Amino acid sequence: MPRANKPDKTNKRPNPNPRSKTRPQDSRKVRPGVVPWPLLRGLKGLVLDCDGVLTPGDLIYDVQGNRLLRFNARDGLGLAVLRRSGFPVAILSGRPADIAEQRFRELGVNPFVGKCKDKNQGLLDICAQIGIPPRKCAFVGDDVADLPAFAACGLRIAVADAVSEVLRDADWITEAAGGRGAVREVCEAILKARGEWEPLIERLRKS
């Protein structure tokens, strides 16, 4: 009995994207400013990196060696309004919690976790502390040290000037840069998704 010819594999077309089966998200493109409204409507909490997100990322020291930080007033108002609505907001930073903690505690942001070496576990701990599941939490980052937190949260947000690795993994890229309105953009979008922004504006117009 003659043997059946084996199929010729020499003309097999190569997979143009060999990583597509294991990492389908690598091929997705998130355009800056496109807000993922369905994901925002299900959020229960927001966690922010500090340097590069709430500040422009500059590290400024005076002649005595004291660290100076610059914050955006509109970011601050957005955080204050979001906190007054009862929405949980926390900060997770790899740097010391010093003047930044003082600034954001004034706005009602709590907890503030500084000197965090493992942002994956840090985000999980914050979610446990404020009583929300990590999949219902958003995290805003700008640099590769924030990628472990991205792996733990449900909505990954990158500021516009984040590094390419963070931009690639993000579900949402803000139009504004870190320390220049990105956090205000996020806070405002959350309030709009919850149906709370327009009533607030109407109350302000009548006051």
> Domain spans of the chain?
39-206
Q: Is 80 helix (H, G, I), strand (E, B) or coil?
A: helix
CATH architecture of the domain 39-206 equals 3-Layer(aba) Sandwich (3.40)
Contact by Cβ (8 Å): 174, 185:
yes
**What is the token pair recorded at 97?**
């919690």
Rounded to the nearest 10°, the torsion over CA 181, 198, 42, 29 is -50
How crowded is the C-beta side of 106, counted as CA atoms within 13 Å?
7
Q: What is the pTM of this model?
A: 0.83
Computed from CA positions of residues 19, 29, 160, 108, in that sequence, does the dihedral angle turn out positive or negative?
negative
In the chain, which residues have pLDDT < 50? Answer: 10-27
**Would strands 137-141 and 89-92 be described as parallel, antiparallel, or unpaired?**
unpaired
